[in-house]
Amino acid sequence: MNIRIYNARILTMQDGQDIFEGEIQIVGNRIAYVGKTEAMKSAIGEDTKMEESVWDREIDADQNLIMPGFKDAHTHSGMTFLRSYADDLPLSDWLNKQIFPMEAKLSPDDIYHLSKLAIMEYLTSGITANFDMYLTPDTIAKASYDSGFRTVMCGAFNNFSQSLEELEEWYLRYNDKESLVNFELGFHAEYTNSRENLEKLAALSHKYQAPMYTHSSESESEVEECRKRYGKTPTALFDELGIFDYGGACYHCVYMTDADLDIMKKKNIYVVSNPGSNTKLASGVAPIEEMLKKGIHVALGTDGPASNNCLDMFREMFLVTGLAKLKAKDASAVDANAVLRMATVEGAHAMGLSNADVLAKGKFADLIMIDLQQPNMQPINNISKNLVYSGSKQNVKMTMVNGRILYEDGKFDIGVDANEVYAKANEIMSGFTKKE
């Protein structure tokens, strides 16, 4: 479809460009024009009028905000079935006694339906792409294709599931940057992989000169156990093995030494912070302020709905700055504008989505409309600060992915009725609990 959105406030997230009033034009799945309406008219000539048939739809934004969609740079979509199932437990007990045993019951078809439920929640939160690490990439990919949603998948290779051969096969199969679905090399964590596995992962990364992605330094005990095994932190071990010689990202990064941070900077490894999950599981507070001062790129992720429990980028934005201010005892730490960049541009770059990072001609039309006609957005003193400090899902009026409006005014267009998705998720969980 060709869509014109006019009478809008526009935040492109391009460096040095403030919010302005204008319009954005989408032709197919790309942005054809973004700028002031007057400039567009001048560019095509005062006597030239675009025929009405050019646009399949014209949308009056009514002075609401158009901006790039949020990028959820770390999540486990299929874990929607465990939302509020195993809460208020220590991390180790939560993971080993509750989560792993339940995940063992999942079928690939279950993950397909549970991923659709997650996609619906991403859309309501203004998330236009997610970075999904879970068990069955093929059914995750199908859920995203069928819904029209953008997903980058990441391997979850470990001692117990997936194989190096599968990891390589998925990387080669889903490696078209023009597609809705992509795949990056990844493994679950240091503590779920043998040294032999880690060495093979490094070799695979070098074979394709590809970035690598993993959980790292989420808990204090994880780091200490790695020290006992190898005499060094997970970050130092990965550096020694050459796992991140071509970049990538580490999820969580709560317990990091200065030397760890230096490695992250040197190897251009992104940090994907998950403040909601880390808070709920009492994992700790990542040193975000120190990371930013060192020039480390930081993105945001929700983690899975079993540990968060919601897929809400507004909550992540508030928590990442709020917790950083508490940790630093400095109210100026981690400015809201930096946070907004983490949730959009940095997330896109961490995921390899440089063609969906900002609003500019030629970029993918992955964007959202924020309703400013809500009490929490008034008065309009500073829109970007409002988004971080007072914004919420209620402000997401529209979510467009790849030029297609998938969510608008509370309604979904993802190829299936919302109630069918809810019913299927409850059916899956009910079947598991009956077997216990």
- pLDDT means per 10 residues in the chain (436 residues)? 97 97 98 91 50 83 98 98 91 86 95 98 98 97 98 97 97 94 98 98 98 97 98 98 98 98 98 97 96 98 96 98 97 98 98 98 98 97 97 98 98 98 96 70
Same domain, 349 and 363: no
Same-domain status, 88 and 140 = yes
Name the token pair of 255.
């317990």
161/136 Cα distance (integer angstroms):
10
Q: Domain count of the chain?
A: 2
Residue 434: inside a domain, yes or no? no
Residues 332 and 371 in one domain: no
Q: For position 348, what pLDDT does the model report?
A: 98
Same domain? 279 vs 392: no
Q: DSSP assignment, residue 435?
A: H
Answer yes or no: is 325 within a domain. Answer: yes
Q: Are 119 and 77 in contact (CB under 8 A)?
A: yes
Is the previous residue joined to 382 through a cis bond, with omega within 30 degrees of 0?
Answer: no
Pick from 181, 162, 212, 199: nearest CA to 77: 181
Same domain, 245 and 155: yes
Both structure tokens of 343: 């949730």
Burial annotation 80-93 (CB, 10 A radius, 16+ → b, else e): bbbbebbeeeebee
Identify whether 421 is part of a domain: no
State residue 48's pLDDT score: 42
Supply the CATH number for residue 298's domain.
3.20.20.140
What pLDDT, on a 0 to 100 scale, did the predictor assign at position 47? 43
Domain limits for position 401: 2-68+356-412
Residue 250 CA neighbour count, 13 Å, CB half: 28
Together in a domain, 185 and 255: yes
Facing residues of 52 across strands? none
Domain-located, residue 417: no
Same domain, 268 and 319: yes
CA-to-CA distance for 203 and 310, rounded, in angstroms? Answer: 36
The pLDDT assigned to 165 comes to 98
In this predicted structure, what is the pLDDT of residue 93? 86
Q: 3-state DSSP call for residue 315?
A: helix
For residue 341, tell me if it sits in a domain.
yes
